[in-house]
Chains A and B, each alone.
Chain A
Amino acid sequence: MTAAVMGVAVGCGSSTATTAAASGGSKPTLVVYSAQGYDQAVVDAFQKSTGIPTKLVDDSTGPLLAKVAAEKSNPQWGVLWTDGDEGFAALDQQGQLLKGYEPSVKFNAAGQAAVPKDQSYIPTGVTMAGTVVYDSSKTPTPPTSWQDLLTPAWKGKVGMNNPAVSGPTFPFVAGMMNLLGGEAQGKDFYGKLKANGLHVFPTNGDTLHAMSTGQIQVGLIQSSAGLGAAQTVKNPNIKTAFLKGVSLLPGVIGIDGRAPAAVQSEAKKFAEFVLSPAGQKAMLNGAPGSDSLYWPVVQGVSPLPAMPSLNSVQYQTVDPYVWGPKEAEINSWFTANIAK
């Protein structure tokens, strides 16, 4: 009764679910779940270019994946688009993604590194996890290796985000474990970092604030956050450095494996559009102070001028199928032992 009354009052009754609008010969609505800063710009450009009705649900990575998990018995999304491929590997293992599809584009080396074997998701751009962000006016000589961070010179001067709160921090934590040879070695490294006075903050904003007040001198955060910070507050002294072995953090698109064929075909068009010159233009202009600061994964597209050359970064790739399933366990270990 109440529901009916409110349906009238709010003036909306029809479902916007991917499956609901498939009747009458018209194009079904494509629903895009995304955590990317430029998503609205890309969705608008896609809709304009193809005429496919597209609707966006934007949220942070964590809550968005929580919503996807809650909808597991009856998914409402056609396209899922976030930074970090660990979640996608886990979704793939649960059989939720469309396998065997990649747009016919020429991926560059970083792009190829991020394509999974079963082609269950599509890379759209890359950033780096756990870069060294510092203020060169206060810290003229930043650390140059991961082991540096454990020396007395950096005691109490390093900060990072808690991976249980900040989505793009898990790839950094997992990346260090991968780099050092395993989970145990990685945990040992974070234990030593903590013993050397590591500060753990909830999110990027808190870590950057701590850096600007001088509580810490170095923040270990995602490259787009550091490069974006320099632009947002117009301070060219805020620099982002890439230590050897920094982890590649791909932004990827997954397609709902259980969506109707018509919706899956629209989702494929969406992925193709994102990697097309028009789509890349929308991605590069959609969030210039944050997520647009990425390296493209298709050949022939240049990143924004603020980006350093990808050739100068000695990055590693992290297998999401190994580390994705460990995310919950590692994050609760981190909260209980390192963030404590």
Chain B
Amino acid sequence: MTTNRLAPSPVTDRGRAALAPPSGERPGDRRAVAGLRWTGRAVRLLGGPLAAVAVGLVLLAPVAGFLLVAISPRMFGQGSAWFSVAAFRSALTGSTLQALLNTALTGVGAAVLAAAIGTGLALLLGRTKVFGGGLWRLGIWALLLAPSYLEALGWTRLVEPDGVLVQLFGVDAGWLRSLVMGPVGVIWVLGSRGVPFAFLAVSGVVAGLGRDFEDAARVHGAGLWSRLRITVGMLAPGLWAALAIVFAEAISDYGVAATLGADARFPLATFSLAASVTNFPADYPTAAAVGWLLMLLVVLAMLAQRAATRGRSYAVLSGRTRPVSQAPLRGWRSAAAQGGLGVFFLLALGVPTLGVVSASMLGQFGALGAHNFTFDNYRQVFHQSALLAPVMLSLRLAVITATVALVGGVLVARFLARSGGKGRGKAAGLLDLLMLGAVALPSIVLGAGYIFTYNLPLMNTLGIHIYGTLTLLTIGLLAGALPAASRLLVGSFSQLQDSMLAAARVHGAGTVRAWSTTVLPLVSRGLLWTWLLTFADRFLELPLASMLYPPGQAPLSVGVTKLIVNYDFGVGTASLVVACAGILLVIGLALALFRLLAPAGWHRLEQR
């Protein structure tokens, strides 16, 4: 990792903050200052490599461990060959190949859909005064929390023969069924799940754009469409970040693959991968080969991203940036905006709600009938004392993971954003690829990678005993969260102009002060959102948790799954709903506190 002299990395800042005398520098004490400078330089020199090693241990080792299984099964006791490409042959034939092609197609579809809708939402909510803006934002959070399988379940329940459409409206829409139970349905569900990611990635950039560029365009006589074109052009870093992250998230989703995909007989790669691992004897080499191919898809996506943003700078956020003004919408524009928002949220949130209602409030396994409606399952949730310890554990894990991921995310995002401006370095490219690759690998793969790597007898010899502990579970959760966190922050950081920091330093501010008064206010909201997003996402994480939780210490998601597996579908789903409501409450509180407690200046650029 390289460091930038003008703007030291946050690690350096923290190193200095701990060492700096409380009253700041005194001009007389030169020796102390020299000592501090030397320490600062050492931290600056070592900070990068140390961070790289940490990221390497957390991310690289397990991913590499797992991927090695594809070519050397014997190394991890998964076969007889030290070197073999048989796993790739089996991954590239028959139904697995078809599943990979389907995955690539739906990934692109979902990414484009999510980026389009997410950008629309970001522009609408960020630059116009639309009625009920806060409510729509809350809707986006709710969207983020609803697991993909609930939306898939909702759609299935809606269109199935004798389903909700038939029961309530007497419509047996065969055409809609065949549309939903196929590629279109899968793309819609994956895309709508991706909208919050796209929205967050783009809206950070929208907020930082200010109104200068639009004003300039207006002065030169540009109409609505020309101004929109200019704005969207400048949104490119956020837009590409959104496309890449949604693509990677979509191709690694298992919830839709196992429900809608399986029901619709539309095989997806994650389904083939999970099937090869969970059938006995487990075929890890083939699963690893599918993992390689999913990563290859990500490489292709990144090449596209690089080709599109190469050689351009998107540093638009300077000391002179003025806050965005939100234009009020009137007449047909307001009606169209409200209508569009309404339709989108009805489909994206209403349908999963239907899934929830069907699964948790209807007795008789979700069959619709006059006397079936019941809150029994919810009453039972609050009598499940067995879930209390798992709730507390998951809460602790989510808070720690979100906090560490935020710090790591800032380091990575700054690194990626800086090298991006100077003709992206090889190290940055590799790190970026690794992070996105980790997103594209389904969690079950990541979990297996951790077991392979940290359970090797070699690790015992080295004295590393972290498999089967909360430490490894936390590292695993972090590895799953770090890529998304950094990706979300890259958008905000790539807009920062170095000149602001330089100006602060010229005016005598120390590094800490310069950073906290120029950079922090500009990215504060992005940081808060990233923390909340990671917290919410990790609180109910299942595949990694179930692979890595320490014996006797089950997190909430594992406890809930046990209920569902033991045919207590109703109570299981009801506890999921209660957990999601709890998370929404935490998010609402955090956003309210930010509004109340953060200095007024922090809101200026971020105000709505």
Q: Is the CB of A209 within 8 A of B470?
A: no
Q: How many residues of B contact A (CB 8 A)?
A: 77
* Main SS at interface, chain B: helix
Q: Which of B77, B364, B471 contacts A7 (CB 8 A)?
A: B471
Q: Is the CB of A3 within 8 A of B448?
A: no
Q: Is the CB of B566 within 8 A of A213?
A: no
* Nearest CB of chain A from residue B387's CB, rounded to whole Å: 12
Q: Which of B57, B275, B404, B468 contacts A331 (CB 8 A)?
A: B275
Most buried by A among B163, B363, B569: B569
A70-B451, A232-B568 are known contacts. Are A327 and B281 too (CB-CB below 8 A)? yes
Binary CB contact string for chain A from 57 to 98 against chain B (1 if under 8 A, 0 otherwise)? 111101101110111111010000000001100100010000
Most buried by A among B58, B259, B565: B565
Binary CB contact string for chain B from 540 to 571 against chain A (1 if under 8 A, 0 otherwise)? 00000011011110100010011011111110
Q: How far is the CA of A290 from the CA of B283 in the complex (A)?
A: 30
Most buried by B among A3, A37, A289, A327: A3
Q: Is the CB of A6 within 8 A of B471?
A: yes
A90-B280, A327-B281 are known contacts. Are A10 and B474 too (CB-CB below 8 A)? yes
Q: Is the CB of A73 within 8 A of B366?
A: no
Q: How far is the CA of A268 from the CA of B386 in the complex (A)?
A: 28
* Chain B CB within 8 A of A307 CB: no
A70-B451, A233-B363 are known contacts. Are A58 and B262 too (CB-CB below 8 A)? no
* Chain A CB within 8 A of B277 CB: yes
Pick out which of these stretches binds chain A: B241-249, B315-323, B425-433, B452-460: B452-460
Binary CB contact string for chain B from 131 to 149 against chain A (1 if under 8 A, 0 otherwise)? 0000000000000000000
Q: How far is the CA of A70 from the CA of B478 in the complex (A)?
A: 21
Residues facing A in B127-177 (CB within 8 A) are 160-163
Q: How many residues of A contact B (CB 8 A)?
A: 83
Q: Which residues of B contact A40 (CB under 8 A)?
A: 386
A16-B552, A76-B468 are known contacts. Are A332 and B567 too (CB-CB below 8 A)? no
Closest residue of chain B to A8, judged by CB?
B471
Q: Is the CB of B279 within 8 A of A328?
A: yes
Q: Is the CB of B448 within 8 A of A17?
A: no
Q: Is the CB of B265 within 8 A of A340?
A: yes
Q: Is the CB of A209 within 8 A of B469?
A: no
Q: Which of B279, B363, B365 contacts A211 (CB 8 A)?
A: B365
Closest residue of chain A to B550, judged by CB?
A16
Q: Which of A20, A232, A328 contacts B280 (CB 8 A)?
A: A328
* Chain A CB within 8 A of B400 CB: yes
* Chain A CB within 8 A of B533 CB: no
Residue pairs across A and B with Cβ atoms less than 8 A apart, 26 shown, are A2-B54, A7-B471, A10-B474, A12-B471, A16-B469, A55-B551, A59-B546, A60-B565, A63-B546, A72-B76, A73-B76, A74-B455, A76-B455, A90-B281, A165-B258, A202-B263, A204-B567, A205-B567, A211-B365, A213-B162, A213-B163, A287-B566, A290-B567, A327-B281, A328-B283, A336-B95
What would 12 more interface pairs be, CB under 8 Å, given A9-B400, A70-B282? A2-B408, A10-B396, A66-B277, A70-B452, A76-B455, A90-B281, A213-B163, A215-B162, A228-B566, A229-B365, A289-B568, A340-B265
Residues in A lying within 8 Å of B, measured CB to CB: 1-3, 5-7, 9-17, 20, 29, 31-32, 35, 37, 40, 55-60, 62-63, 65-67, 69-74, 76, 86-87, 90, 94, 162, 164-165, 167, 170, 201-202, 204-206, 208-215, 225, 228-229, 232-235, 287, 289-291, 324-325, 327-328, 331-332, 335-336, 339-340
Residues in B lying within 8 Å of A, measured CB to CB: 50, 53-54, 57-58, 76-78, 94-95, 160-163, 258-259, 262-263, 265, 267, 275-284, 363-368, 386, 396-397, 400, 404, 408, 444, 448, 451-452, 455-457, 460, 465-471, 474-475, 478, 546-547, 549-552, 554, 558, 561-562, 564-570
